Amino acid sequence: MADSHGAPFNEVDETADKVFCANCIHCKLLRTPMGNGNQYYLRVRCDAGRWRKKLGEEKYYKYFTVARRSVDNCDDYIPMGDAREYIKELKKTLPIKDEIYSL
């Protein structure tokens, strides 16, 4: 079944009413060294300090998951542009797993 625009009724617009952290100025990419220091992983952090583990320690997420990071609302959210377009383009360029990079 589809609506008047041809979209199925049960198709959910996953960008509606969500704050995507990847589109926020506080979402920062960082390198986490591994091994002898010539290689690293990519991680993301919220430099507004909103990503926390249960005991209060700061939580980092793997870069390839960044498009999935969203919150219902956030007082510190500062968008960097149109979230819908940005997330769509970002998903095309993200790695599909946690990759190791070399210097």
Query: Min. distance of Cβ 48 from ligand SF4 in angstroms?
Result: 4
Query: Which of 18, 26, 68, 84 is close enough to bind ligand SF4 by CB under 6 A?
Result: 26
Helix H, strand E, coil C: the string for the chain is CECCCCCECCCCCCCCCCEEHHHECCEEEEEEEECCCCEEEEEEEECCCCCECCCCCECCEEHHHHHHCEECCCCCCCECCCHHHHHHHHHHHCCCCCCCEEC
Residues of span 84-103 touching ligand SF4 by CB under 6 A? none
63 binds ligand SF4 (CB under 6 A): no
62 binds ligand SF4 (CB under 6 A): no
Neighbours of 22 (CB within 10 A): 21
Query: Min. distance of Cβ 18 from ligand SF4 in angstroms?
Result: 10
74 binds ligand SF4 (CB under 6 A): yes
What does the binding site for ligand SF4 look like in residue numbers (CB under 6 A)?
19, 21, 24, 26-27, 46, 48, 50, 71, 74, 76-77
